[in-house]
Amino acid sequence: MNAPQETKETIQVKADPTAERYVEGKIISVQGPVVDVRFISEAELPGIDYAIMTKTYAGKNVTLMVAEHLPGVVARCISMHETMNLQRNSKAWCYNKKIQVPVSEDCFGRIMNAMGEMIDEKAPIVGELRDIRTLKTAYPVSTERGGSEIEVMDTGIKMVDLFFPLVKGSKTGVLGGAACGKTVVILELINNIVKQRSGACVFTGIGERLREGYDLYKELEDAKLLHRVMMAFGQMDQPPGARREVIFAGLTLAEYIQQQNKDVLLFADNIFRFVQGGQEVSTLLGRVPSETGYQPTLASEVSEVQERIRSSDTGGSITSFQAVYVPADDYTDPAVVAIYSYLDGVMSLSRDMVQRGLYPAIDILKSSCANLDTSIVGKRHFNVAVEARKILTKLNDLKKIVAIIGVEELSPTDRITYFRGLKLQNYFTQPFFVAEIFTGKAGEYVPPAETVDDVDAVMNGDYDDQDPRDFYMMGSLQKKFGPRSK
């Protein structure tokens, strides 16, 4: 929005009859990202979440978002931009609108921030402007997935396809502490699913590093997938308001694609940073935190995001993958618990597995998935997954015994289970396409049917003569060793 012309009137309609109506205010306080703007009367005071525009001394546009109303007809705002050089007594104006982002087919391959501004140094997008805080859908929301409507999406990642079948319209979380590989798993899912399917993708970078955003852009460009991905970034160097609001910009893009009767994959990395941004905003506004230190509105803020990720009965679906940072590896953290309650599947990453070089470092015993059901994946797939989990659980117990008395002291049955468990543990490691530059190994895509056959064969003893080390960082067993039968 351009700055209005100087005028003595507080409320003015421009000479152009199609011009927008706006109200003027005056900045009376700037305290970091918190800016107070005074208006003339209660009638002119913008509503909560409305956007207020102003300029710095250097002429840079600054967007403010109304967070609360104070006595004296003052709107306390959170800035979406840096407030350096923003002066007291500067003019501010409000068009009585919330923050809006442009939506159109031209958004594919482009990167915007939480305010809808293009940050990829390319031409601005001309499209329909939509409020990021308003749910716009022309279709009734679907609350249940009928048996005939369930569609499982293949990922090519062996562990994910077997234990965490991804159903269209579901929510899946990738939980883990720092440096456990959340972003790598998310990027591999983007690479594999977008390549295999004709749907569209929206990637939302929430409070992550600039380097990661640039690397993602180049990887998508090199893989020729950029034309099928919309991106919204609110990164680590931006104010907390921008980091919090960028998820709503991503949701707005996803809803636009959904209304075109298309299926859309929504990737959020990292959803915990959204909660963290809200916590910072709450602290800046002087609100009393809860007993756990988080904002008192934690549950409602998380639900505001999660309830917009849904399918419709007559339109497309939104399937989400959310990386969730776990602070200090504490899975009882209130923010993690609040996010966890909305997820259909949870992939918990293990630091112990990272240290042993087992990638993807998904700990099956700490993870869960509601979609692993016979009505969704079939009886054979379900039985193989359950039996594999039992063997991996038994392996975890036997490792403690072996560390004390050695493998030779195990009973014949336990020894067989132990070595088959080691083979399965190594089999579930996999070279990723997005990690080729780091590992030097070509990525592998394994169809789910082959994964089920391979795991079944290992558990039946078809590969008992193979060393467990031969199963590390590989694709399909049939491709490497050939089909076997006892």
Domain boundary among 374, 399, 433: 374
Q: Are residues 334 and 435 in the same domain?
A: no
Q: Are residues 361 and 429 in the same domain?
A: no
Coil/strand/helix, residue 15: coil
Domain boundary among 65, 97, 129: 97
- Non-local (6+) Cβ contacts of 3 within 8 A are 53, 55, 61, 93
DSSP assignment of 40-61 equals SSGGGPPPTTBEEEEE-TT--E
Q: Are residues 345 and 442 in the same domain?
A: no
Range with the poorest average pLDDT among 79-93, 154-168, 216-230: 216-230
Residue 46 lies in a domain: yes
Residue type, position 113, single letter: N
Q: Are residues 73 and 192 in the same domain?
A: no
Residue 176 lies in a domain: yes
Range with the poorest average pLDDT among 10-24, 27-41, 296-310, 327-341: 10-24
Q: How many domains does the chain have?
A: 3
Q: Catalytic one among 133, 182, 308, 310?
A: 182
- Non-local (6+) Cβ contacts of 478 within 8 A are 450, 453, 454
Q: What is the reported pLDDT for 362?
A: 92
Residue 365 lies in a domain: yes
β pairing state of 51-55 and 61-70: antiparallel
Give the C-alpha separation, 451 to 66, whole Å. 52
Residue 486 lies in a domain: no
CA-closest candidate to residue 72, choices 28, 102, 31: 28
10 Å Cβ neighbour count for 401?
A: 14
Give the C-alpha separation, 156 to 189, whole Å. 8
Residue 409 structural domain: 379-481
- Non-local (6+) Cβ contacts of 387 within 8 A are 459
Residue 165 lies in a domain: yes
Q: Catalytic one among 133, 145, 158, 208?
A: 208
Q: Is the pLDDT of residue 158 over 90?
A: yes
Give the C-alpha separation, 98 to 289, whole Å. 27
CATH number, residue 387 = 1.10.1140.10
Q: Are residues 221 and 355 in the same domain?
A: yes
149 catalytically annotated: no
Q: Are residues 315 and 443 in the same domain?
A: no
Q: Are residues 228 and 300 in the same domain?
A: yes
CA-closest candidate to residue 204, choices 191, 196, 192, 213: 213
Place of tokens 């979406």: 80
Is-cis flag, bond preceding 426, omega within 30? no
CATH number, residue 141 = 3.40.50.300
Q: Catalytic one among 209, 366, 380, 441?
A: 209
Domain boundary among 318, 352, 374: 374
Give the C-alpha separation, 237 to 98, whole Å. 23
Percentage of the chain lying above the pLDDT 70 cut: 91
Distances, alpha carbon 128 to alpha carbons 119, 199, 239, 354, in Å: 18, 21, 26, 45
Number of residues written out for the chain: 486
**What angle, 0 to 180 degrees and rounded to 10, lies between the N-to-C axes of helices 240-258 and 298-306?**
30
Q: Are residues 401 and 473 in the same domain?
A: yes
What distance lies between CA 105 and its chain's CA centroid? 22
Q: Is the pLDDT of residue 301 over 70?
A: yes
Q: Is the pLDDT of residue 282 over 60?
A: yes
Q: Are residues 343 and 257 in the same domain?
A: yes
Mean pLDDT within 244-266:
91
171 catalytically annotated: no
Q: What is the DSSP letter of 219?
A: H
Q: Are residues 398 and 457 in the same domain?
A: yes
Percentage of the chain lying above the pLDDT 90 cut: 54
Give the C-alpha separation, 203 to 56, whole Å. 31
Residue 261 lies in a domain: yes
**Residue 46 structure tokens:** 């913008």
- The per-residue pLDDT for range 117-151, each reduced to its tens digit, is 998 888 888 888 899 887 655 445 554 444 346 88
Sign of CA dihedral 159, 163, 167, 170: negative
Give the C-alpha separation, 38 to 42, whole Å. 10
In 306-447, beta strands by DSSP E: 311-312, 318-325, 345-348, 368-369
Query: For residues 263-277, b (16+ Cβ closer than 10 Å) or e, as one string?
Result: bbbbbbbbbbbbbbb
- The per-residue pLDDT for range 20-49, each reduced to its tens digit, is 678 999 999 999 999 999 999 888 899 999
Give the C-alpha separation, 363 to 353, whole Å. 8
208 catalytically annotated: yes
Give the C-alpha separation, 120 to 407, whole Å. 57
Q: Are residues 291 and 405 in the same domain?
A: no
- The per-residue pLDDT for range 82-99, each reduced to its tens digit, is 999 899 999 999 988 999
Question: What is the Cβ-side half-sphere exposure of residue 478, based on CA atoms within 13 angstroms?
Answer: 14
Give the C-alpha separation, 281 to 98, whole Å. 18
CA-closest candidate to residue 320, choices 193, 146, 415: 193
**Residue 204 structure tokens:** 């939302």
Q: What is the DSSP letter of 155?
A: -
Whether pTM > 0.75 for this model: the answer is: yes
Q: Are residues 161 and 134 in the same domain?
A: yes
Range with the poorest average pLDDT among 5-9, 381-385, 468-472: 5-9
Helix and strand counts by DSSP (H, E) for the chain: 14, 21
The band of 313, judged by pLDDT with boundaries at 50, 70 and 90, is low
